[in-house]
Each structure stands twice: as C-alpha cells, then as structure tokens.
Amino acid sequence: MRASIICTALGVLTSALAQIPNSPRIDLTKPSYDLWRHKKTAAATVQQSFTFDNVNRRLFIVNRKSSSALDSGDLTISELDFAGNLLGSMNLLACGHGVNIGAQAVGDDTYIWSETDAAASGYGTALWRFKYVDGTTLNSATDGRDRIIPIPEFERGTATVDPVYERLIVRYQSGTVQNMAVFDLDQATAGNFSTPLANWEIPELVEELGAMVDVFQGYAAYGRYVYFLTGESYDASGGVLNSEVLAMDLNTGELVQGPVITRAGSTLEFREPEGMAVYETVAGEVRLFLGFASGESGDRRSNLFYKSALVA
C-alpha cells in the first residue's frame, strides 16, 4: 500500500518535471528511402554530419577540410541543393570534429550552431553560432565572437536543432561521460541557458543500451525523442554492417526503440555511418535522415537516406 502511494507520487513528480510534451515518433524498424548517393561536397573527406535550414529549405554538410590533418579541427561546411548539386561552402579553422551541426533560419539567412576552439584532440571545447556565408573562412584563433558554454560541466560537445519544435539539443562530454541537454531555441538564441528543459547522462552505448559497437555517429531530435546513429565503416577489405539507430526519450534519457540495425545504403562498397538530421517537407512529412560516406579515400561522397513512417 505504502509502496504504491510512493510510486504514484513519484509518477506525478516525474510527469510534472517532464517539460517536453509528447509528440509523434519515427518508427526505426520501417525501411529507409534514398535521397541521393555518391554526391560530392566541397571536401574530399568523409562527411561528418549534416543539417537542414527547414525554413529556407537549405541543406548543409560538414566534412573535415580537405588536406587538413585529422586532429586539426578544420572543417568545411558545404551547401547542396536537394538534388545534390554543390552550391557553395565555407571553412572553419581549428573549430572541431563536426560530429553534429545545427541550422537555424533568421529571415532569409541561415545561422549555424557548431563547435569552436578545438582542443589538441580536434574536438571543439565550446559552441558558437554564426551566419553561413559562402566563400568565407572563420578562424577560431582570431574570431572574437561569443563562445557558448550552455552547461557549466560542458568540456566538449556539439549541437543540433529540432527544426519542427524549435529546440536546441546539445550533446556534451563531462569527464568521460556523454550527456544531453535541451533548450528552447529562442531562449538559447538570446543567450539564456539558465533552465534546460532536460539534462541527462547518456547511457553507455554497448553495456547499457545494447548497441553492437561503442561508436557514436550522430543525433537528431524531433519533439519528445532524440535519435542516435552508431556504427563503423566497412568495405571489401573488412568490417561488418553494424550501423544501428536508437530512439531515446528526451525528457528522461530512457531507451524507447532499438538498437535497430539499419541497412540503408548496405550495397555501398565503402560505407560509414555519418550524421543524422530531421527535415519536414512542404507537404508536412517529417523525415529522419541518416547519412553515410561512400567512395574511395581522397574522393569520398555523401549518401543520404530517410525514414518517415511514424509509430502507429
């Protein structure tokens, strides 16, 4: 009796603290469709991630800058149209690894949320937000714009934008632990990070979530849920298809679906899972995109697939 009263009280407390309302969820067990295969970006390296400006309907892909060292933190952001034609690019020097980027429309412009101040590891130690301008270069060593440390414990991390519900989702490392924090996008844009809507430790991918490998490759958020992409590359010389997708409850960090193996692009000769993003079409269909690199070393290409079936 007493136990059930405590449980009920806890249930009420948990739902009172849940600040991200319920929303539809993408069914990860349903097939993926091609947007494209083998498209060139402005860099010849494997893509790291990608993002959509859903208002201006633009697509940006982030790669390590061609010919920069692996841990340089130099990135190239390419803009492609939805048919895969390269429209332009900008470079970011000594900024980060490009695990994720986010895009935000401001009128006709796109602002990018990304990493800056790369450590020796090549990973960014702060976030910044800047206007995408084709043909320009931002150098973290000389650029004086504001650094964003959304959570005091943030040591390194990245961000994504939920383009439908307008939230900023930050994955950050503190010590050896990865965490997820969620903010209202308007408040974050105003520099107000005082009250995250959620903030939780990401369970260990293999030990706690049951993924095949502990290799995190991207995340994207839509409403109440955040989706993860994991896995390694393979080609004719080795490796196995171990790329998986998972859905987590953004309020609590509980696993909701997965890990589910994704066979998207499974016929690519070289295939490396790289990035996730959410996009809502003009007709209102929400698509969860999965990115993969293909091609030869020195001539890597972008491949984008999407799932859109909702859990009934």
Ligand X SMILES: *[C@@H]1O[C@H](CO)[C@@H](O)[C@H](O)[C@H]1NC(C)=O
Residues that bind ligand X (CB under 6 A): 184, 187, 192, 194-195
Residue 208: helix, strand or coil by DSSP?
coil
What contacts 67, CB < 8 A, 6 or more positions away? Answer: none
Decide whether 97 or 167 has the Cβ nearer to ligand X: 167
Least separation in angstroms between CB 183 and ligand X: 7
* Element of type H or E holding 311: none
Of the two residues 127 and 276, which places its CB atom closer to ligand X in the complex? 127
- Residue 138 is encoded by which pair of tokens? 């931002």
- Least distance from C-beta 192 to ligand X, angstroms? 4
**How many whole angstroms from its chain centre is CA 130?**
17
Nearer to ligand X, 120 or 190 (CB): 190
Q: Which of 217, 262, 287 is nearest to 46 (CA)?
A: 217
- Whichever of 61 and 180 has its CB closer to ligand X, that residue is 180
Q: What are phi and psi of 47, to 5 degrees?
A: -65, 150
Cβ neighbours, 10 Å, residue 56: 13
Indicate the helix (H) or strand (E) that contains 218: strand 216-222
251 within 8 A of 19, measured Cβ to Cβ: yes
Helical spans, DSSP H, in the chain: 2-17, 185-189
In the complex with ligand X, the residue whose CB is nearer, 148 or 247, is 148
Query: Between residues 184 and 244, which has the closer beta carbon with respect to ligand X?
Result: 184
Cβ at position 180, least distance to ligand X in Å: 17
The two three-digit tokens of residue 276, written as one number: 């996730």
The nearest distance, CB 224 to ligand X, in angstroms, is 17
Quote the least distance from Cβ 12 to ligand X, whole Å.
22
For the bound state, the minimum distance from the C-beta of residue 24 to ligand X, rounded and expressed in Å, comes to: 24
> Which residue has the closest beta carbon to ligand X?
192
Closest CA to 107 of 150, 62, 58: 58
